Amino acid sequence: MQATSHLALINVFVGDIQGGLGPFLGTWLAQAAQWSPSRIGLVTTIVGFSTLVLSGPLGALVDRVGRPRLLIALACAAILGGTVMLMPARSFPTVLAAQFVAALGGTLVVPAVAALTLGMVGKQAFPKQQGRNQAYNHVGILGAALAISFGTPVFGPSIAFWVLGLLAVGAIVATVTTPGRAWNARRAVGWKEDDPDDKPERSAILKVLGDRRLLLLSASLALFNLANGSMLSLLGQKLVAAGQDGTGWTARYVMVAQLVMIPVALLAGSLADRRGRRQLLIAACAVLPVRALLSALLDDPAWLILAEVLDGVASGVIGVAVPVVVADLTWGSGRTQTALGTVAAVQGVGGALSGWIGGLLAIHFGWTWTFLALGLPALLSLGLALWLEETCAPSGQDAAGAPCGTIGAASRLPPEGPRLAFEEQGRA
């Protein structure tokens, strides 16, 4: 089996387990432990913000350890262990501890898979491979959702534990059986593969994270998630308030969005080099205000499927474009996963605030104005995306005219200590 086939399996298996039980956690705690919605919300909020704080440091751990296969296996083991711990848990401290362990693994697995991908295929092939990764990711999520949907009437809500457990075990097996020689540590960070005596130092973290383009990207993604994070949940609540089957339609919307994300991710991976990364980000951000408008004006649940098709387009593109742009901006610094984890944390803050803000808007202004109001941060996100410079145009150069995805493009990142040998080569 080819190494990229192992990578495909890893992405299929980890697609659904990254968030642990995810939306099924509330159902399980409500049915098995008779928890109130407020108590469930408190646990998820505490765990959510804790893992956001740790997202950057866990990315730095991936950069520093340089053993992504080991870290992916450990992350999946943590997800599995935390989920198993949750089954008998009933008290607040034990549920909190179990969820934190699982969420820690889910946060670690994302930069670890990105590092494994870069070290296997290299920077030039990364955009297309990231598109494939995300497509396989969505296949895994869709498959798990179908298994849980059809299995729940037969096996009860505990089916979610069994599906997640099998996926975690599958991810661990696919990871440990991946050929070690297929991954190159120097290829993963942009250092010269054919010169092991060249030992460049990693760039200073603050200088990498302080890149204006990275800050602009992070702000745009935070606004994107602020607008996008609560829309699906609010749609379900809107349908319930109108006397519709909110749960059933929400499940259909999730499946529609995941089905759309699969071809969109593949297309985005292909277009990243041909059309440029900036164009992809602009397209994703432009779709979101339209989704907000449709959600505000449409009441028929069947027509609202159009809004979730747009969700699939926007989220599918973002999932491919963001790691590729971060890799462009940090290539050769040795801090790519640190930056990716930090960007994910900022992005996650927007998503965490979205549910709270969306709920307040719904209470005070009604459904139509709530969705229209969520379209405002979506428009701001689009404005920042338009302001962002191209990190890799179809010509193979960034906005400054330097080759992207090559050693020369990394030469502007200042290292800790002496200048890197490959910087001198980049200026030559």
Domains of the chain, CATH where assigned: 1-189 (1.20.1250.20), 204-391 (1.20.1250.20)
State yes or no: pLDDT of 128 exceeds 90.
yes
The whole-angstrom separation of Cα 330 and Cα 327 is 5
Burial of 302 (0-12, 13-18, 19+ CB in 10 A): exposed
- Cα 121 vs. chain centroid, distance in angstroms? 20
Q: What is the pLDDT of residue 33?
A: 73
Convert the pLDDT of each residue in 143-196 to its tens digit: 888 887 788 788 877 788 888 889 999 999 999 999 888 888 888 888 777 766
Give the percent of the chain with pLDDT over 70.
87
The DSSP code sequence of 353-417 is HHHHHHHHHHHHHHHHHHHHHHHHHHHHHHHHHHHSPPSS-TTSB-TTSPBTTSTGGGGGSPBSS
State yes or no: pLDDT of 263 exceeds 80.
yes
Say if residues 261 and 315 touch (Cβ distance below 8 Å).
yes
Tokens of residue 77, six digits:
């083991």
SS3 of the chain: helix, strand, coil, percent, to 5: 80, 0, 20
Q: What is the pLDDT of residue 12?
A: 93
Convert the pLDDT of each residue in 93-125 to its tens digit: 998 898 899 889 999 999 999 999 999 998 889
* pTM of the complete model: 0.84
Q: What is the pLDDT of residue 406?
A: 44
Half-sphere exposure of 45 (CA within 13 A, CB side): 10
